[in-house]
Structure 1
Amino acid sequence: MVDAPAGKFQGKELHDYNGEPFVAFRAIPYAKPPLGDLRFEKPQPLERIEGIFDATRPGVECPTPSLPMFSHYSKGNEDCLILNVFMRRLSSHETLKKVIVFIHGGGFIVGSSLPYIPGTFVNAHDVIFVTINYRLGVLGFLSLEDEVSPGNYGLWDMLLALHWVRDNIRAFGGDPTDVTIAGESAGGAAVSYLTLAPQASSLFTKAYAQSGSASSVFGRATRARKTALEYALSVGCLDGEPDGGVFNSDHSRAVIACLKKLPLEEINKFQAFTLDESKFVPRIDGDFVPTDPLILLKNSTYLRSVGFFDKAHLIAMNNNERSIMETNVKMAEMMLSEHLGLSREDTQRAFGALRDSAIRFNVGTRLPNSSQLALALKSVESWYDRRYGSDFLVELSSDLNFILPTFDYIEATTKSDACNGWLLYFDHYPEILKGFRRGIPHGFDLLYWFDFPVELMKIFVSDPNIEEMSEEDLKLKQHFSAIISAFVKSGNPSGPLTELIPAKVPIYDAQQRSHINFGPSPTLGSDLEAHKREFWKQLISEYK
């Protein structure tokens, strides 16, 4: 049992993949339940829990959309603001352990902390590992872009969870002054947002973002108010058309009051998936997100003011991030055909219109204020079509969700000599993956440091044919975990690589632009995806 400022917590012994024991405290609430009047509000701190809290059982997922594509997720429970604490064993706390807080992915729409069991990791590296839930989709990010409904509630949830860690983790044996935040996909984007948030600057010392950044298209709402009004209209909480007439704060209060009373099953009925808009995700609110992340990441004065340069940064992406975009494009075409009941000819026509809209949307996120967007679109279409043909949209959306945002982030670290950043490219081809999912697809890196059952990974990458990891992959898991652990403990991920790479692993800088090619035989590389980055640099300078 642990007696912390938040209460007394009874944990449980679990066993990792190798059968070794570790200790877990699960489903600990870190905020008041966001129910009733607290729905669509910033999270509220929880008073100290009376008695002994039973932290032996798994918690719940936050609500997710009621759509066929998300049928493998639980519908969730609104009382979901919980966190989990894992460790090798309870100690005397004479020597405090390093702390890592992991933020799950899922496009800010789905996912939870439940599958992320770090048993093997904590046993091998003796750190305190925290995983968290945060509100998703409509409940987490709906916004009317005003003081009544500013949105970003899911980001505020993460911030409150970090406050809980600062105030309580010492009781679990963790060092509250040395916390690493980490996340994958939407979690990676969240990590990036937290590094830019003034409110979070004192709550962590290191940041590891995998496959996502604050500038990723999937994590940046560009028309949050219009999306929210369309949604309110669809559930009977708005009279008239979303774009019609005057809409003031009184109208906002009426809409939010109505939405607060809706049953959860009604809240969950929203179309979360589309190629030409990012719905119910973080937005520029002038508070948590002061302005466009693309601007913030280039502003050295701002970065210095929020302590960005005082932290160590590990930024990573996989060699097959595009797999998720290929899945999304195929899914969109299937939805037009099957769910709308369109003929083959009508499906092709509708998908062509959607494709054009998606291209405009993606390019527009890089040129939000351009009066020459039409000319820029022609340049983009010509460049991508000549190189990728029918894969144009897949490649474009992959670049703007993963490749360019990764460099937006890592290049921000070069704006101060005092800042250390490393770029890791997971360049491996597991035997168990074939076809367009070969290599390291989006999300597959998680298999290399969490104890995921194979059945869950089949769902993650939508491949029912995945088998157990090979000996090579199990060895690679040890190496990858060691790199993350080294970063968590020292702020430098290169320690475990010194035996694998016969050269010093350099910090990323604006001249050499070096990165780690990580795989069974790691190497050093430089100027990753240079041709794409140069194209976009020239495009933006010409059409900004």
Structure 2
Amino acid sequence: MRYMLVPSAALLLFVVQGTANVLVEVNEGTLEGTYEQNEYGGSFYSFKAIPYALPPVGDLRFKAPLPPTSWQGVRSAKEVSSVCYQVNLLAFEVNGTGSEDCLYLNVYTPDVNPTELLPVMFWIHGGGFFSGNGGDMDFGPEFLVRHDVVYVAINYRLDILGFLSLDIEEVPGNAGLKDQAAALLWVKDNIRQFGGDPDKVTIFGESAGAASVTYHMISPMSKGLFKRAIAQSASPIAHWPRIMEPREKAITFARKLGFTSTDPHEIYEYLKSLPVETIVKLSVPVTIDEQAIIPMSTNFATVIEKDFGNGEAFLTEDLIEALEKGIHEDVDVMSGYTEHEGIFGLVLRGHNENVFKYGEFLEFFCPLELRYHCNKKQILEIGRQMRNRYINDDLVTEEKIWDIITYLSLEDFMFDAIRWQKIIAQSGSNKFYFYKFTCKSELNIMTDLFGMRGLLGPGTFVTHADDLMYLFPPKLYPIEVALNSTEFRMIETVTTLWTNFAKYGNPTPDESLGAHWAPYTIQNQDYLDIGEQLVPGTEPDKEHVEFWEEIYKKYLPERSSGRMDTGNALLIVGLFFISKKIGGM
């Protein structure tokens, strides 16, 4: 064994039979990782399957995570951990995979002993809160670490294991979000040992991961654990990250298993006693919408918790009201969506057969949030206006499929992303950047993976999750990314924007990318079209957004982004800057 010492008390690099390994000391003990060459240039250190909490098994099932225990000797950190137990419905899986013992994270760093601590990018994977993982086959570090950032990816509990809520102190809900907060706390306490700056952490995620990111911006549990946030294709006020009647869903779930008690404590004990394979593959719709309109809707997801005063509550306040008070101060935000999000909306609704079947009804064209809050007469009125706007009151047929995709893009992702952006921008105390992702290349594979090519025909589309291939190497797919290719040039642009934001709080701090990305404000509504070229613009998808805003103002004004008019917003912004100036005198 050959040892090579480096000038750090926490680090020992050694070579065994030609393989470079590295030891790093964290609070719980010593980790042994690896030193790896990056096929896209440079090298990095890799540490995998680091425990950030106790295994949530036995009596800890459904509960908030507890801190990890220390270990003796050297712990290997060379292989990824098991994924959190799941059944991936979007991959048409029938049987579950993974383990309940899954609360681990991976750290990748270009330098464990830099002269100056490096920014940290903390990835939260998507998957509808029922699937996904933070492993390097899906979300490898190779593209990002080239830009001198420390990259962290985590697992967190999913489905019923991570999001059961019984409205009792033992199971208030949001355990999966609390896992994420526990991982953030671990990073805060240990990331220096990997060369990372604990005061410069950027959380970022896509889909359910992005929804999680937005919840951390308002949760007291996450306050002070990160500096910046990137939310890709999600917002906290969209209909799909939250579930209706979580306690009723739990009761229905237990009944489906043959347990008829409605006592939440008895249900808790019963579900805690069952094998994990029994409880993670049931579908339990509790509304007609869940059963018919969106048959693949999330089983268990985020909830507004009852606060039991034990310091373990993650979300306890209505989201609109919480957002209007402002997100955590001094947190910069970058968010946006892809050009054709609605292709995924077809997938969620059971592909085209369900769309054509239920598209005959006016209710289909009433956004789900409005269906939750309006009476039947209003729902039909809204549906008629939407159907007239998007398909000219025609039948839902294949000839109208792109009109339907436009509608579903707005319902599931785009409108709520802009509505959320407007709500939080009214505070004037944070810096925001907004984008529309339009990159088109061989990397855009999601339309084919979703099985939509036969319906949509030839062409390159930018649907939900297509942006991920420009941030993480497509290891699971037969795509070769040459360093001199158009694809790699776009990868370099996207990863530069993302890592610039993590470093400086500004995606374009200079003119090196050929465009200036202005911050989003209520007044200008600036955004950046991120395609093969970077094109600044204002008021993304303006005509659609204005039409939807009028609908919301009429039928659900208390949840409209227009609750505070522009004049009041300008007044608040002005008062904010006056107070900052006075305070600095």
TM tier relative to shorter chain: 0.7 to 0.9
Which of the residues 488, 503, 528 maps onto 2:502? 488
Aligned length: 502
Q: State whether structure 2 residue 430 is matched by structure 1 residue 419.
A: yes
The match for 2:122 is 101
User: Contact 2:109–2:150 (CA<8 Å) still a contact in 1?
Assistant: yes
Q: Which amino acid aligns with 2:234?
A: G
> Equivalents in 2 of 1:291, 1:125: separation in Å?
38
The match for 2:415 is 404
> Equivalents in 2 of 1:423, 1:396: separation in Å?
21
Distance 1:384 1:150, change over 3 A: farther
Q: CA deviation at 1:431?
A: 4.8
Q: Which amino acid aligns with 1:266?
A: T
Q: How does 1:129-208 map to 2 (within 5 A)?
A: 129-208=151-230
> Equivalents in 2 of 1:223, 1:311: separation in Å?
32
Distance 1:52 1:74, change over 3 A: farther
Q: Which amino acid aligns with 1:362?
A: L
> Equivalents in 1 of 2:421, 2:186: separation in Å?
29
> Equivalents in 1 of 2:238, 2:257: separation in Å?
29
Q: What secondary structure sits across from 1:492 in the alignment?
A: coil
The match for 1:288 is 314
Which has more helix, going by share of residues?
Answer: 1
Deviates more, 1:410-419 or 1:177-186: 410-419
The match for 2:343 is 323
Q: Which amino acid aligns with 1:319?
A: E
The match for 2:489 is 475
User: Contact 1:224–1:279 (CA<8 Å) still a contact in 2?
Assistant: no
Distance 1:397 1:388, change over 3 A: farther
Q: CA deviation at 1:398?
A: 2.5
User: Contact 2:340–2:405 (CA<8 Å) still a contact in 1?
Assistant: no
Q: CA deviation at 1:271?
A: 2.2
Q: What secondary structure sits across from 1:378 in the alignment?
A: helix
Distance 1:359 1:109, change over 3 A: farther
The match for 1:29 is 51
Q: CA deviation at 1:368?
A: 6.4
User: Contact 1:73–1:111 (CA<8 Å) still a contact in 2?
Assistant: no
Q: CA deviation at 1:87?
A: 0.7
Q: Which amino acid aligns with 2:212?
A: A
Distance 1:125 1:543, change over 3 A: same
> Equivalents in 1 of 2:71, 2:374: separation in Å?
47
The match for 1:537 is 549
Structure 2 gap ranges (5+):
1-22, 307-312, 448-452, 557-585
The match for 1:385 is 391
User: Contact 1:87–1:122 (CA<8 Å) still a contact in 2?
Assistant: no
Q: CA deviation at 1:90?
A: 2.3
Q: CA deviation at 1:238?
A: 2.9
Where has structure 1 moved over 6 Å in runs of 4 or more? 353-357, 368-371
- Residues 469-520 of structure 1: CA deviation (Å, up to 9, x unaligned): 781111010011111110000001123655422xx43111112111101112
Q: What secondary structure sits across from 1:253 in the alignment?
A: helix
User: Contact 1:425–1:516 (CA<8 Å) still a contact in 2?
Assistant: yes
Q: Which amino acid aligns with 2:318?
A: D
Distance 1:122 1:426, change over 3 A: closer
> Equivalents in 1 of 2:30, 2:279: separation in Å?
34
Deviates more, 1:40-49 or 1:25-34: 40-49
> Equivalents in 1 of 2:269, 2:343: separation in Å?
41
User: Contact 2:119–2:150 (CA<8 Å) still a contact in 1?
Assistant: yes
User: Contact 1:66–1:269 (CA<8 Å) still a contact in 2?
Assistant: no
The match for 2:131 is 110
> Equivalents in 2 of 1:320, 1:271: separation in Å?
28
| TM-score, scaled relative to structure 2 | 0.79
User: Contact 1:363–1:377 (CA<8 Å) still a contact in 2?
Assistant: no
Q: CA deviation at 1:539?
A: 1.2
Distance 1:388 1:353, change over 3 A: closer
Q: Which amino acid aligns with 1:141?
A: F
User: Contact 2:40–2:142 (CA<8 Å) still a contact in 1?
Assistant: yes
Q: What secondary structure sits across from 1:14 in the alignment?
A: strand
Q: What secondary structure sits across from 2:392 in the alignment?
A: helix
- Residues 109-143 of structure 1: CA deviation (Å, up to 9, x unaligned): 10000134443334421111110111111111121
Q: Which amino acid aligns with 1:378?
A: R
| TM-score, scaled relative to structure 1 | 0.85
User: Contact 2:130–2:298 (CA<8 Å) still a contact in 1?
Assistant: no
Q: How does 1:9-408 map to 2 (within 5 A)?
A: 9-18=31-40, 20-65=42-87, 69-71=91-93, 75-91=97-113, 93-114=114-135, 115-239=137-261, 247=262, 251-271=263-283, 275-276=293-294, 277-286=297-306, 287-297=313-323, 299=324, 302-303=325-326, 307=328, 309-331=329-351, 333=353, 351-352=357-358, 362-364=368-370, 367=373, 372-386=378-392, 390=396, 391=401, 394-408=405-419
Distance 1:10 1:254, change over 3 A: same
Which of the residues 494, 516, 519 maps onto 1:507? 519
User: Contact 2:235–2:416 (CA<8 Å) still a contact in 1?
Assistant: yes
User: Contact 2:363–2:380 (CA<8 Å) still a contact in 1?
Assistant: no
Q: CA deviation at 1:278?
A: 3.7
User: Contact 1:96–1:170 (CA<8 Å) still a contact in 2?
Assistant: yes
- Residues 438-462 of structure 1: CA deviation (Å, up to 9, x unaligned): 232211111112122251xx8xxxx
> Equivalents in 1 of 2:156, 2:366: separation in Å?
31
Q: What secondary structure sits across from 2:234 in the alignment?
A: coil
Structure 1 gap ranges (5+):
240-246, 335-346, 459-465
> Equivalents in 2 of 1:507, 1:73: separation in Å?
46
Distance 1:319 1:370, change over 3 A: same
> Equivalents in 1 of 2:96, 2:434: separation in Å?
35
Distance 1:47 1:490, change over 3 A: same
> Equivalents in 1 of 2:550, 2:189: separation in Å?
47
User: Contact 2:437–2:462 (CA<8 Å) still a contact in 1?
Assistant: yes
Distance 1:421 1:12, change over 3 A: same
> Equivalents in 2 of 1:264, 1:70: separation in Å?
19
Q: What secondary structure sits across from 1:219 in the alignment?
A: coil
Q: Which has the larger radius of gyration?
A: 2
User: Contact 1:215–1:293 (CA<8 Å) still a contact in 2?
Assistant: yes
